[in-house]
Structure 1
Amino acid sequence: MIHDFLSMYPAKLLEYATCVGYLLCFVGFWKYVQGGKPAEARAEAHEPATVRQAVSEWFTVPDGIYLHPGHAWARISADGVVTVGIDDFAHKLVGPARVELPSAGAAVVQGEPAFALRADTRAVDMLSPVDGTVVEVNRALSDNPEKLDDTYGAGWLFRVKPPRFAANAKQLLQGASARLWEAAAGEALAARLSPELGQVLADGGTPVHGIAQELDPVHWDELARKFFLT
Structure 2
Amino acid sequence: MAQQPNVLIPLSKLPSFDPREMPVDSTDAHLPAVPAAALTADALRARFASPPPWEAEVRAEPLFADRPLAAASVLAGIVMRDRPALLFTERTTHLSTHSGQVAFPGGKRDDTDRDAAHTALREAQEEVGLDPAHVEVIGTLPTYQTGTNFVITPVVALVDPGHTLTLNPNEVADAFEVPLEFLMNPAHHRRHHIEFEGMHREWFSMPYMDGSTQRFIWGATAGMLRNLYRFLAA
For normalisation by structure 2, the TM-score amounts to 0.28
Bigger proportion of residues as helix:
1
The higher radius of gyration belongs to 1
Return the structure number with greater relative CO, CA threshold 8 A, min gap 6.
2
For normalisation by structure 1, the TM-score amounts to 0.28
